[in-house]
A = this chain, B = another copy of it.
């Protein structure tokens, strides 16, 4: 019947996007701590309290792009077809990400994406807060994998692997190579890493 999302919800989403986009674009332009939240609010044409109603902290203005993938690993494991091993599901998921050059795999050479990753990795407070997100992600994955120390270890190892793979890809691209050029190595690395996990 109606596919309308509702006026309120639509505007909220747009406001959120406007804030996030304004923030990232200013951060890329001048660096994380050379931009005040006031600047961002002004650029997004909203007030400061409104900004903080959408994003709890200044760091989250950057990290929401990661946060959108929050719990993805756990979901992949939970939603896998029966008969498929968790690691296999995660392996395939990561490979699919590589094939569509998903920014989270590090295999993306759009200048903005590269600059964005550099921003995150070179700003201490951002890197710090990012690991907190990863911890939550890890817990969720652990819960999806089962109980006890075994599941925890497994989860930590899988996510560690993904982080290493992504950073490796990003590094190669930061060195000037194209995503397309790096793709085969990225796939090979991923295959090797995930197979060793089995």
Contact = CB atoms under 8 A, between A and B. Distances in A.
Contacts of A7: 45-47
A11 interface: yes
Interface string A114-128: 000000000000000
A46 B7 CA distance: 7
**Copies of the chain in the assembly:** 2
Interface of A: 7, 10-11, 45-47
A10 B45 CA distance: 9
Contacts of A46: 7
Contact of A45 (B11, B45, B47): B11
A53 to B, nearest CB: 15
With a 10 A CB-CB cut-off, give which of A7, A11, A46 has the most chain B CB atoms.
Answer: A7
A47 B10 CA distance: 13
A24 to B, nearest CB: 21
5 contacts: A7-B45, A7-B46, A7-B47, A10-B45, A11-B45
A10 B46 CA distance: 11
Nearest to A41: B7
Nearest to A14: B45
Nearest to A47: B7
Contacts of A10: 45
A6 to B, nearest CB: 10
A147 to B, nearest CB: 48
A130 B194 CA distance: 74
Contacts of A45: 7, 10-11
Contacts of A47: 7
